[in-house]
Amino acid sequence: MSTPSVPDYTTEFAGRTALVTGGASGIGLATARRLAAGGANVIVADFNAQGAEQVAAELREQGYGAAAVALDVTSPASVEAAVRFAVDTFGALHLAVNNAGIAGPVTPTGEYDIEGYERVIATNLNGVFYSMRYELPAIEAAGAGGAVVNVSSVMGTVSSRGSIAYVAAKHGVVGLTKTAAAEYASKGIRVNAVGPGFIETPLLAADEMERAAHDALVAAHPAGRLGRSEEVAELIVFLLTERASFVHGSYHLVDGGYTAV
């Protein structure tokens, strides 16, 4: 019996350009590194312009194609400019990972700060819409198909007391994903979402939490630990590859079993 061929993961994105929002840290950083290792030209887009440039410089030093752009996903004009930068820099846009997000206040709904609510919705929900609004036409114009992955959360399927804005936004991202997927499947463009659970990122660092609270959170996971950004990045990257060619409008949890119990 012949041995099945194994894809060359170092060239699976050769000739493709990928835009990663929130690419300077956490899941976005892990994804940018993984895409570059797969041969993609990577645009690292982040509100933290200095951090984005540091990541892009790191990738270039390793011989990968990379560039950085400052991005405020709450501004349609900023998003449009970032997409244009990607096309101008590498000639086309084929892949996008909409990862930028913030945590927001933790307060009961009846006491929730209005400005805080609007800030979370502007970043976590509107930012994904603005991103797809400009990414999808650019991907279509490239004429080679493509894929988009939106980063939702486990809070796109369950709730968390005190986080009304975050939960609403992440549920909304799933809806945005399904709608865009239905619209663009016939154009050869796939749109999917991932729902990370509690991941050790700058938004959830153990040393910034009370130890007892952190341990209780870990205990809520059948896996017995929190996740790593690299574990989420692997799923994101899979959804961007042609190995996921029949996956459209799906929402995949990466949560160590958190929502299974």
- 119 Cβ contact list (under 8 Å, min separation 6): 102, 104, 165
Among candidate residues 64, 117, 134, 166, the one labeled active-site is 166
- Give the CATH fold of the 17-254 domain: Rossmann fold (3.40.50)
The one-letter code for the residue type at 172 is: G
Residue 79, classed as helix, strand or coil, is helix
Positive or negative, the Cα torsion across 213, 219, 224, 230?
negative
Segments of the chain with pLDDT less than 50: 206
Task: Give residue 206's pLDDT.
Answer: 44
Task: Give residue 4's pLDDT.
Answer: 56
The answer to whether 166 is a known catalytic residue is: yes
Task: Give residue 200's pLDDT.
Answer: 84
Q: Are 59 and 34 in contact (CB under 8 A)?
A: no
Task: Give residue 180's pLDDT.
Answer: 98
pTM listed for this prediction: 0.94
Per domain, the residue ranges of the chain are: 17-254
Task: Give residue 10's pLDDT.
Answer: 87
CA dihedral 102, 233, 58, 46 (to 10 degrees): -20
Instruction: Tell me how far apart the alpha carbons of residues 22 and 71 are, in angstroms, rounded to a whole number.
Output: 8
